Amino acid sequence: MDRGASIVVGGEEFHATEQAPFVFGRADGDGVVGLDAKDMGISGVAGSIEFTWGVWWVVNQSTKRPLLIEHPAGPGQLTLAPGHRHAVTVERLSVIVPGAIYSHVLDVVLPHDYTSALRGDAARLTSGTLVASSVGLSDRERDAVTALSAGYLESFPHRREHPNTYEESARLLGGDTWTADRVRKAVERVKARFAEKEGVYFSGPQANYELAGHLVAAGILSGEDLARLPARRP
């Protein structure tokens, strides 16, 4: 099966293999494809397209600058935080590298047989997105964090990076079997599991902001999960 990836930058095509990732940053360097040597808004090594654990990933290699990911038929742009990675489970997506002068677009194209095989491995997929996290979510927990993070999952111009309150989340879930307290308990279970299994802690007044951002940036939640909310079901 062909597992190679093609990356198109400014009309020029590059290739990545399982053994040789595509690395991009501000200027050309040893193993790095430069986007704009004069743009100090781009990290020296901004990111990479690499094959790990049998899957292609977009990896944010920067220590302080985010990348944006856009699927042609997806819910809008996803923000990939520094140090995070996003599994590529579609044949084509765009990686946007915001700079101080200009935003650069990298089109990533994968062979059809790779993405077909990946989608066929249903046990490894959640809502169409492969999850690198060891933290699994029950259906009820996924409902709760989807409602909490709904604004992060909307497409532009409705996207809002602000978590809902537990009361708002309960209303989004229908309010019959959900209360604010039940949403809170489900969310707290998810936080506890991240702490236990991955050593990732969400605490303090910004905990829900950080949790929602992490769930989206890591690909654990995607725009497709909005269909879990009663008001969004067909």
Residues sharing a CB contact under 8 Å with residue 57, sequence separation 6 or more, in sequence order: 49, 50, 51, 85, 86, 87, 88, 132
Q: What is the pLDDT of residue 213?
A: 81
Residues sharing a CB contact under 8 Å with residue 143, sequence separation 6 or more, in sequence order: 173, 178, 186, 228
Q: Where are the domains of the chain?
A: 5-130, 139-232
H or E segment at 212? helix 207-217
Measured from the Cβ of residue 45, the count of other Cβ atoms closer than 10 Å reads 16
- With a cut of 70, say whether residue 204 has pLDDT above it: yes
The three-point CA angle 136-73-51 to 5° equals 55
pLDDT in tens, 13-55: 999 998 999 999 999 999 999 999 999 999 999 999 998 767 8
Q: What is the pLDDT of residue 154?
A: 77
pLDDT in tens, 183-197: 999 999 999 988 888
Which CATH number is 5-130's, of 3.50.50.60, 1.10.10.350, 2.60.200.20, 2.160.10.10? 2.60.200.20
CA 202 to CA 209: how far, in whole Å? 9
CB 105 within 8 A of CB 42: no
CA 74 to CA 180: how far, in whole Å? 30
CB 96 within 8 A of CB 70: yes
Instruction: Say what the pTM is.
Output: 0.55
Which residues make beta-bridge pairs with 79? 68
Residues sharing a CB contact under 8 Å with residue 232, sequence separation 6 or more, in sequence order: 226
